[in-house]
Amino acid sequence: MSEQEGAFYTGVYRNLFKELGKSDEEIEQRIQECWEQLFNGDEDTRIYYPVGEDLGYILDTGNLDVRTEGMSYGMMMAVQMDNKDVFDRLWNWTMKYMYMTTGENAGYFAWSCNPDGTKRAFGPAPDGEEFFAMALFFASHRWGDGLEPYNYSVQAKDLLRTCLHKGEDGVGYPMWNPENKLIKFVPNCEFSDPSYHLPHFYELFALWAYEEDRQFWKEASTASREYLKISCHPETGLAPEYAYYDGTPNNEKGYGHFYSDAYRVAGNIGLDYEWFRGDEWERAESAKLQAFFAEKDPADYRRYTISGEPLEEKSLHPVGLLATNAMATLASDGPDSKSSVELFWNTPVRTGVRRYYDNCLYFFSLLALSGTYRIWMPEV
């Protein structure tokens, strides 16, 4: 396939559920029901909590904190669903409580806060920053810019500039390594997390960031695609949670296995292929992942070495795992693709204490597989 077949070029998004035989009405109902469960549901399903007149947060129900991961995810969900009220509430909460104005991390967001807004940590997590930036660009293009802090495109460009140039004055660290163009796990370390790599976002940053940074983002998209090739196992397709810049697992603290963070890699690869036809390698990679899990019962998903050896510890987020495996079908037409999508369609959202992470991945997969995880372009 040529790169020109990606949705960025054609405006056409694949709908895997229709390919299963589901009707437009069934699909739309499923999306709306899922949104209602996560954003307006009861205490066994909801992850979003409005506060006062203009604030709201996404709760990590397993850890009882508010994370930049969840807040940025919620903003992306809201802009895709055309819900400006939820988007602005989340952004207001993020700016009020998470944004740091002093210290070496000034200009970044504190990755973890309590629900009352007090900070649990004063360090940032780059996966939050990159999702904030992308959601803000989409909001600008879908709804238009307003007065600060609703000047979404400026907020996105300023944030990306901080991510790249932080530390040039001797204070703090950038979120991307300036030499190899790879995203770091946290700014003051020199290793990565494969699930942070979003080349499909960087392609768009290369169009919309401040002009002086655009070449970096174009190179970063290429660097991330190449990094995924060396960090995913050549036979199983499994990626570690943390990996060194040469792609080898970083298991210093037990994060060199296929576990929670790493589940996102499958979905990211699927979306990169859907939007940009990023690399033909993504098709084979997605098929390998789906083949690895094809005969496994989600109730018995485990922590695995990236070579595929099952460890004793059960998966903490099995619904999230099967959801992202299904999302990989955007890049795969392997023998296990249809069954991966069917398994996802037949699996309800997770309820209970650990629902937050699973259902974030679930909702993104629902959007992507229905062709409604869209690139929102600026009006011309």
Measured distance CA(109)–CA(100) in Å, rounded: 6
What is the CB-side half-sphere exposure of residue 226 using CA atoms within 13 A? 10
How far from the centroid of its chain's Cα atoms is residue 268's Cα? 7
Locus of tokens 């495996």: 325
Amino acid at 300: D
Q: List active site positions.
A: 69, 261
How far from the centroid of its chain's Cα atoms is residue 136's Cα? 14
Measured distance CA(281)–CA(89) in Å, rounded: 39
Measured distance CA(130)–CA(202) in Å, rounded: 9
With CA atoms as reference, report the closest residue to 311 among 258, 261, 241. Answer: 258
Tell me if 141 sits within 8 A of 377, measured CB to CB: yes
Measured distance CA(286)–CA(328) in Å, rounded: 5
Locus of tokens 């009020």: 96
Amino acid at 226: E
